[in-house]
Amino acid sequence: MVSPSDLVGKRVLVTGASGFTGRYMLKELQQQGCHVIALGAAGAATAAQEHVFADLTDREAVFTAVEAARVDFVVHLAALAFVGHGRIEDFYAVNLLGTRNLLNALERASHAPACVLLASSANIYGNSSEGMLDEGTVPAPANDYAVSKLAMEHVAGLWRDRLPIVITRPFNYTGVGQAAQFLVPKIVSHFARRADVMELGNLDVSRDFGDVRAVVSAYRQLLQQPQAVGQVVNVCTGVGRTLTEIVRICAELTGHELEVRVNPDFVRPNEVKILLGDNGRLKSLIQEWNPPDMRQTLAWMLEAETAKVAPVASD
């Protein structure tokens, strides 16, 4: 018998609800009986029960939307995330100033939330620290996306005494529906299409790859944990996988072999060999969290991708 959730009937505001993580976050919250309100641009389609519309860069529009929503919890996922995005200023407009506008609105709103979860990124640690990184690792952001996320964390610190904020730093994660420009979906797509050749970068670096379903479960449980307020929390598996291993698992699951070519343009100079997350703090805060093994995640993604590319039988 499933125990009733203490989130039943709670109003939860989710920004970025139409994005990759947002779609899974909505499902996770709705399964707990939440009434989910999506905050986003007009026309963005989501499965939320309610929508409020605002551009995060418009301070007063954000306040109007937040005031109307009257929410008990907030999950702030909206961000410009693709590191290769062309307009650098957009990272700061959305990730930094957009977050500041949201926090300002939540402070001014007549209905105070019990928890505000801000999704930062493990990218803030950069590429110079090696091994297993905990929340005390000195940040060394290596691109504008990472700098904007670290700046967002500092801005959130201005509201530390005024709002119940928890900051998460997710490491790499993937799943069905992630855009093809990201690494794991690219590999999965090549196997699903039974391609002959695939170009990748350094095959032997070990990284922490999680599953989006586990990530949103962690976020939801952190909302329910009062002890998480005021903390920065890594969301990660603590297990490293190389690209060579991921390719091998895909080959085993599909029975398809392809040629992997290392493209020098995809290889970062002086890239650290092993970079993983320490999830000790996360596991001390939430009780029921067992992320799927990488093989399970890849099998799920391959099944979905293969179904997309399979020819439709004709009569």
Known catalytic residues? 145
DSSP string, 60-71: HHHHHHHHHH--
Distances (CA, A) of 274 to 19, 129, 164, 186, 293: 29, 9, 34, 21, 18
14 exposure class (CB count in 10 Å sphere: 0-12, 13-18, 19+): buried
Helix (H, G, I), strand (E, B) or coil at 203: coil
Compute φ and ψ for 300, nearest 5 degrees: -60, -45
Q: H helices within the chain, ranges in order?
A: 20-31, 59-69, 88-90, 99-108, 144-157, 183-192, 212-223, 243-254, 280-285, 294-309
Dist. CA 211–CA 221, nearest whole Å? 16
